[in-house]
Amino acid sequence: MSEAAVLSGHVRDPDREFSEAVIALMKGPIYRDTHERPWQHLLAHRGRIDDYVALIGLDAYVDESEGYAFLRTRPELDEDEGLPRLVHRRRLSFPLSLLLVLLRRRLAEHDAAGGDTKAVITREQIVALLRTFLPEGRNDARLFDQIDTHIKKSVDLGFLRQVKGDEATYEVRRILVAFVDAQWLADFDARLDEYADQFRENQPVESV
């Protein structure tokens, strides 16, 4: 232990740092800008964390440039029905799946335009995006309630974050890129046609 560390009263505990990072990951995605300590510990103990989660069939997906990390089932074990899944695959409703796709396209358009680091979208803009796929004659009050439910779920999943001081504006989190990739977006128009048909039939789809 260095003399400077003793004098400053700050003594590093690598085991505690490791545990803090792993526990944070087990709870859900972590972000550089909102989980500063776990993020620092994750980077400091990356190799040890990779080895640990691999023992329980998981990968720690870390994007240092975008500043997020999360746990996912290792690809070779993803289809192994003999092993219980620690990270469960969520089944999303069709409207929520559609919202995530539209948000991903919004993020891609923002990046292509060379905008600021953060892509933001208002509740009003989200409503306008989703209404394109709704059959005419829907009850607006019920529609807005449903869309608010989908927005809240997107926030809970970590794909949207409410902007401080503005209840009706959201940041599109860049972790969405890891779930809806560029190859998927390349076929976006064709998928939107399929989505429009399914949305009118109100059929659920698998999560993206």
pLDDT digits (tens, 9 = 90+) for 65-121: 989 999 988 766 555 555 555 455 566 777 787 888 889 888 888 888 876 678 999
Give yes or no for a contact between 175 and 68, defined as CB atoms under 8 angstroms apart: yes
CATH architecture of 3-77: Orthogonal Bundle (1.10)
What digits encode the pLDDT tens for the residues 19-53? 999 999 998 899 998 899 999 999 999 999 999 99
User: Letter for the amino acid at 161?
Assistant: R
Q: Which residue bears the tokens 């004098």?
A: 7
Cα 163 to Cα 170: distance, rounded to the nearest angstrom: 5
Q: Which residues pair with 73 in a beta bridge?
A: 58
pLDDT of residue 178: 85
Return d(Cα 194, Cα 204) in angstroms, integer.
12
Residue with tokens 């796709």: 101
For residue 48, give the H/E element and its range.
helix 46-54
CATH superfamily of 94-201: MukE-like family, C-terminal domain (1.10.10.2260)
- Dist CA 69 CA 192 (whole Å): 29
Confidence category of residue 198, pLDDT binned at 50, 70, 90:
low
Say whether pLDDT at 6 is over 50: no
Contact 194, 136 (CB under 8 A): no
Locate tokens 């999360």: which residue?
A: 70
Residue intervals of the chain classified under CATH 1.10.10.2260 are: 94-201
Backbone angles phi, psi at 57, to 5 degrees: 80, 25
Q: What is the mean pLDDT of the chain?
A: 79
Which pLDDT score, from 0 to 100, does residue 88 have?
52
Output phi, psi for 60, to 5 deg. -95, 105
Whether pTM > 0.85 for this model: the answer is no
